[in-house]
Amino acid sequence: MHSTLSEHAQCLFGDEYRPTAACGQEHREHYFVEQLTFADADAILSMLRELCPHVVDGQLPVWIRSLAYRRVLLQRPDEPDLLWEAAGNLWMHDPDWDDVAAGLTKRAEELDAR
């Protein structure tokens, strides 16, 4: 088993910035999704920032990024910086969810105005 969510994601999806070490384990996407589902916000943000340090880069699939941000926002719903970050990810990578991105942006603006 991988010791961190970041390590598991790097092993499964690769890393644009560092070579992926062979770990000798069988990789199944659903095991990673289970780990992501129950990860805390810090572990998820660490993974996103390690593997996708800029909005336009990284090899994580779009649906994994979207799920990761959703999980973070469920744990930290009132942090404007995270709302902005999640909205930016949706604007950049997932045009099917533009209405959700707009809602996140509106919520971030409201929190910033306080």
- What predicted TM-score, i.e. pTM, was given to this entire model? 0.91
How many separate domains does the chain show?
1
Summarize pLDDT for 83-114 with one digit per residue, the tens. Answer: 999 999 999 987 889 999 999 999 999 999 98
Local structure of 24: helix, strand or coil: coil
What count of other Cβ atoms lies within 10 Å of the Cβ of residue 4? 14
Quickly tell me which residue has 């994994």 as its tokens: 64
Q: What percent of the chain has pLDDT over 90?
A: 69
How much helix, strand and coil, in percent to the nearest 5, is found in the chain?
65, 0, 35
State which residues form the domain around 89: 5-113
